[in-house]
């Protein structure tokens, strides 16, 4: 059982939904990014989603693209991203960390080396947005053999014919992308999300967590109410991009977590 599995089991026992917070590793620089990540568990974050900056982030909207650019310009690397997780693990051995990004940096490092280092650092799961199920031999299956969850994205265009392939080797949870398009592009609406979440839950026992388009405590509450949890990314990254301190970012995150936990 991974930290992700344990987290959802604990939340079910408490009658609560999961709040997942996304931040870009190294944004705006290593030190401030590390300080923000270290404060997330205290702010009520159940799962930390840590973005791995990449030069060509095709699924990301302008807010997260700019975050990745800031991180790369200030020298963020895959090694420094792993180091942030190591720093977190010195004080927190419970909160799951999911690395989200693209395959190229992992391929460049070497899959076996990356998985060994990720496991050692304390990463629990991966979301690699440009590896479809047809490429599971590349990273998904080796990651699961190494003890990491491989979390797949389902979208409004994932029909009943495609869904079994998406779910086949997914573990930890299913990440349902609530809108078509890039991150931060539109607002998620619970009334639109609920039928698709129900459809996915009929096909899997895994928790279904909804992301994209959630910007406020009220939105976090309404979306979490129709799923097993919610993800907020662009709204948090915007606060970081506006130059807010780690304490100010954590205070904002805490309001979102409270919203999700009210669901």
Dist. CA 206–CA 168, nearest whole Å: 11
Phi, psi of 180 (to 5 degrees): -85, 135
Single out the catalytic residue among 5, 46, 60, 239. Answer: 60
Dist. CA 47–CA 257, nearest whole Å: 11
**Omega before 28 cis (within 30°)?**
yes
Single out the catalytic residue among 5, 27, 46, 49. Answer: 49
Question: Residue 52 CA to chain centroid, in angstroms?
Answer: 11
Phi, psi of 75 (to 5 degrees): 90, 15
Q: Is residue 242 within 8 Å of residue 263, measured between CB atoms?
A: no
Q: What is the mean pLDDT of each run of 10 residues along the chain (263 residues)?
A: 97 98 98 98 98 89 94 97 98 98 96 98 97 96 98 94 96 90 62 93 98 94 97 97 98 98 96
In the residue annotation, 258 being an active-site residue is answered as no
The DSSP letter of residue 98 is: E
Dist. CA 136–CA 104, nearest whole Å: 15
**CATH number of the 3-262 domain:** 3.20.20.70
Each domain of the chain, given as residue ranges in start order, spans 3-262
**30-39 vs 246-262: helix axis angle to the nearest 10?**
30
Per-residue confidence (pLDDT) for residue 179, from 0 to 100: 73
In the residue annotation, 138 being an active-site residue is answered as no
Per-residue confidence (pLDDT) for residue 181, from 0 to 100: 54
Dihedral (Cα; 101, 103, 108, 110), 10-degree rounding:
100
Burial of 180 (0-12, 13-18, 19+ CB in 10 A): exposed
Q: Is residue 131 within 8 Å of residue 101, measured between CB atoms?
A: no
């Amino acid at each position: 059982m991974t930290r992700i599995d344990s987290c959802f089991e604990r939340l079910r026992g408490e009658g609560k939904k999961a709040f997942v917070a996304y931040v870009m590793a190294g944004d705006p620089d290593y030190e401030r990014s590390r300080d923000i990540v270290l404060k997330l568990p205290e702010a009520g974050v159940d799962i930390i989603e840590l973005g791995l900056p990449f030069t060509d982030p095709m699924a990301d909207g302008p807010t997260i693209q700019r975050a990745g650019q800031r991180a790369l310009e200030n020298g963020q690397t895959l090694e420094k991203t792993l180091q942030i997780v190591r720093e977190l693990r010195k004080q927190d051995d419970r909160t799951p960390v999911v690395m989200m990004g693209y395959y190229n940096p992992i391929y460049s490092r070497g899959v076996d080396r990356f998985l060994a280092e990720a496991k050692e650092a304390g990463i629990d799961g991966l979301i690699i947005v440009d590896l479809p199920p047809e490429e599971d031999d590349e990273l998904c299956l080796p990651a699961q053999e190494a003890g990491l969850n491989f979390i797949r994205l389902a979208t409004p265009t994932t029909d009943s014919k495609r869904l079994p392939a998406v779910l086949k080797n997914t573990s930890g949870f299913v990440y349902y992308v609530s809108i078509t398009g890039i991150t931060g592009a539109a607002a998620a609406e619970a009334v639109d999300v609920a039928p698709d979440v129900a459809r996915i839950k009929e096909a899997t026992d895994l928790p279904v967590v909804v992301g994209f388009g959630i910007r406020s405590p009220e939105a976090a509450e309404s979306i979490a109410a129709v799923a097993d949890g919610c993800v907020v990314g662009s709204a948090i990254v915007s606060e970081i991009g506006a130059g807010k301190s780690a304490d100010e970012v954590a205070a904002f995150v805490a309001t979102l977590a409270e919203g999700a936990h009210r669901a």
